[in-house]
Structure 1
Amino acid sequence: MCGPEFITETTRQKIAAYAAEFRKVTRSPFGADDEIGMLNLLSVESAREVMRRADGGAAIDLSVDMFVGMPSWVKAGDPPFQQWMTHTPAGTVLDDLTGAGRAQNELVSYSGDAVSMYTHTGTHIDTLNHFGYQGEIWNGFSAAQHLSSRHWTRCGADRIPPIIGRGVLFDVAALHGVDMLPDNYGIGADDLRSALRRQRTTFQPGDIALIRTGRMTQWPDPRRYIDNSPGLNLDGARLLALAGAAVIGGDNSALEQMPANDPENWQVVHTYLLGEAGVPIMEIVDCEQLAAESRYEFAFVGACLKIRGATGAPMRPLALPLIR
């Protein structure tokens, strides 16, 4: 079960994709102040139910580690991940920046470090202010009224709630009998429906969709992981949005097929999901263990850093297997 034909009229009215107009931002069905879109489909009841069935002792980490030289989006001039020491035990003895004195500094071995990175580095979530159309983002918030000198005042990462719900893996690579889909392969609606049938899995409104292309098998090679990635195309994105996905994640660097098969829009899936359908995106989600264990249905638990106004933020999602 996946698609608009399975959606009731009451639920349909809550799914923004049904009101979407081509290349226009959509007003939220949850009101003029809404900043989280389809995350509103998550409910306390569904979270409690899926957690009741979850095996907390067998959590699967869906995130990647972060390190200097890791694959990251730098093609548009954004900074790579950097990390450096701000305090070392021997250095503290010499510079005595704390003013504690040599004796205490020799006793107390003090280490500290700092990082610098693009907010879309590593496993992360894209918020609804990341992409839109004509200077507007989700729900009609405009840059003219809501973009300060530092960040958006609407739809930032600080607005994203903890995400707890039923997760569903779409193992498209396994559907085609390969470890990894070919470069630039576009995952469409037929791929997603066929993956569900193969897995004997259903997808319901409010679920979290994870799409496996197999690209994580190339991690951490920056060239092989980033360039010409297979991923979701507009046809596939529309199916999931109309099916009521609360959030959609992928194991590749941009969720979508790259480069996009659209001569007019280089981020056709991003603009559609974020601007038209109100569906946040997760990227660089490691689905390999889920696939290896055939965990197609699971409890998903994830929370991002609450960076005020940010267009994206690192997160560490977990999949908890369901007790059969």
Structure 2
Amino acid sequence: MTDPLALGPHDFGALYRRLRGAAGAGPTPRGALDRITPELVRRAAGEVRTGRTVSMAAPVETRQEPDCPDPARHWLTAPAPPESPADGLHFAMDRLAMNMHSNADSHLDALCHVIWEGTLYGGTPPSTLTPSGATALSVDLARDGIVGRGVLLDIPGLHGVPWLEPGVQVTTEDLVAAEAAQNVRVEPGDLLFVRVGHRRRRRAMGPWDVARERAGLHPTAMEFLAEREVAVLGCDSNSDAAPSTIPGVAFPIHVLAVHAMGIHLLDYLQFEDLTPLCAERGHWSFLCVVAPLRVPGATGSPVNPIAVL
């Protein structure tokens, strides 16, 4: 039986060209972030009702797990063990080293992260990626922060399940149905967050090899984002389902979002604190603040997105 969700290379190529065309005649300086105007930020501030703040980041993973073979390394550098500080002033200090694009840690993908068919977003040459960092399209494009209206679409909630099983793909129909069920509409310049329940499954069943199996979006769902002119896409997986349905393209959502559409991605977030609060309020939009680290030339950054309710 033919898989109705499968796309061939020709179909994917046509989808890529449509989405690149929908993004505009040429690349904008900050990609889709340019859709977030000062007026939209002011309007997003009106979403605040209670002033409560909620993190959408997972704790940094420092243990080696099936989904995190290269965990972050965090250690105390002072005082040096087993020394006990003497009288007077002392400072406790520590150091953190991490893979920016871990399959366990919450992070932002910059527009220089995806190389497709020999170019970066907007036809930027890969020669801009140097050993000392990217000289174009780096995380520095978001140095002033990403602030706007966030919208959370709860796809497992739509289907009455705690999470989507690995391999399940979220379609445009799912996104539209979630809007209707939650009485919310994704609008131009929004930061769209799609919950697949990845973190809840990880908590309940333990880590697994997400490089092989994970829930995510179907490539054609990106047409929904193009139509609504979304500025940022975030997910509690990395937005791409695995295994991919596109032969030879392991991360089609990354190719379409970052390379074709200039959309920054927020990967491996967690919505388990935010979802019940939105459900309780019956209100699924909020002011959102994302502040990536200012690491010159970086292809991404760890992030702690904050929803302000």
TM-score, normalised via structure 1 length:
0.80
Aligned equivalent of 2:51? 57
Measured in 2, the distance between the counterparts of 1:156 and 1:71 equals 29
In structure 2, relative to structure 1, the CA distance for the partners of 1:148 and 1:226 (3 Å cut) is closer
Aligned equivalent of 1:153? 135
Aligned equivalent of 2:150? 167
Question: Which entry has the higher C-alpha Rg, 1 or 2?
Answer: 1
RMSD (Å), alpha carbons: 2.7
Measured in 1, the distance between the counterparts of 2:251 and 2:21 equals 17
Aligned equivalent of 2:201? 218
Correspondence for 2:243 among 259, 275, 283: 259
Correspondence for 1:244 among 203, 226, 229: 229
Measured in 1, the distance between the counterparts of 2:297 and 2:236 equals 25
Aligned equivalent of 1:182? 165
Measured in 1, the distance between the counterparts of 2:293 and 2:65 equals 20
Which sits farther off after the overlay, 169-178 or 109-118? 109-118
CA deviation vs aligned residue, 1:161-190 (integer Å, no higher than 9, x gap):
311111111111111110001221011111
Number of aligned residues: 287
User: Post-superposition, which runs of at least 4 consecutive aligned residues in structure 1 deviate over 6 A?
Assistant: 25-28
Measured in 1, the distance between the counterparts of 2:274 and 2:124 equals 37
CA deviation vs aligned residue, 1:195-240 (integer Å, no higher than 9, x gap):
1111111111101100011111134533176651111110112221
- Conservation of the 8 A alpha-carbon contact between 1:26 and 1:138: no
Alignment of 1:320 with 2:304, yes or no, is: no
Correspondence for 1:84 among 61, 75, 84: 75
- Conservation of the 8 A alpha-carbon contact between 1:184 and 1:258: yes
- The Cα shift of 1:28 comes to 7.2
Measured in 2, the distance between the counterparts of 1:60 and 1:255 equals 21
Measured in 1, the distance between the counterparts of 2:25 and 2:146 equals 18
CA deviation vs aligned residue, 1:81-137 (integer Å, no higher than 9, x gap):
1112222265567xxxxxxxxxx9543343211111111242111111111312211
Aligned equivalent of 1:119? 100
Aligned to 2:247, the other structure's residue is in SS state coil
Measured in 1, the distance between the counterparts of 2:218 and 2:200 equals 21
Structure 1 alignment gaps of length 5 or more: 1-17, 94-103
- Conservation of the 8 A alpha-carbon contact between 1:89 and 1:111: no
Measured in 2, the distance between the counterparts of 1:110 and 1:205 equals 47
Aligned equivalent of 2:8? none
Correspondence for 1:291 among 268, 275, 299: 275
Measured in 2, the distance between the counterparts of 1:47 and 1:184 equals 35
Alignment of 1:66 with 2:57, yes or no, is: no
Aligned to 1:286, the other structure's residue is in SS state coil
Correspondence for 1:21 among 17, 20, 33: 17
Which amino acid in the other structure matches residue 125 of structure 1?
Answer: L
Measured in 2, the distance between the counterparts of 1:178 and 1:70 equals 29
Measured in 2, the distance between the counterparts of 1:217 and 1:225 equals 14
Which amino acid in the other structure matches residue 296 of structure 2?
Answer: R
Which sits farther off after the overlay, 264-273 or 128-137? 128-137
In structure 2, relative to structure 1, the CA distance for the partners of 1:20 and 1:234 (3 Å cut) is closer
Measured in 1, the distance between the counterparts of 2:23 and 2:220 equals 22
CA deviation vs aligned residue, 1:39-61 (integer Å, no higher than 9, x gap):
00001111112213414631111
TM-score, normalised via structure 2 length:
0.84
- The Cα shift of 1:243 comes to 1.6
In structure 2, relative to structure 1, the CA distance for the partners of 1:264 and 1:20 (3 Å cut) is closer
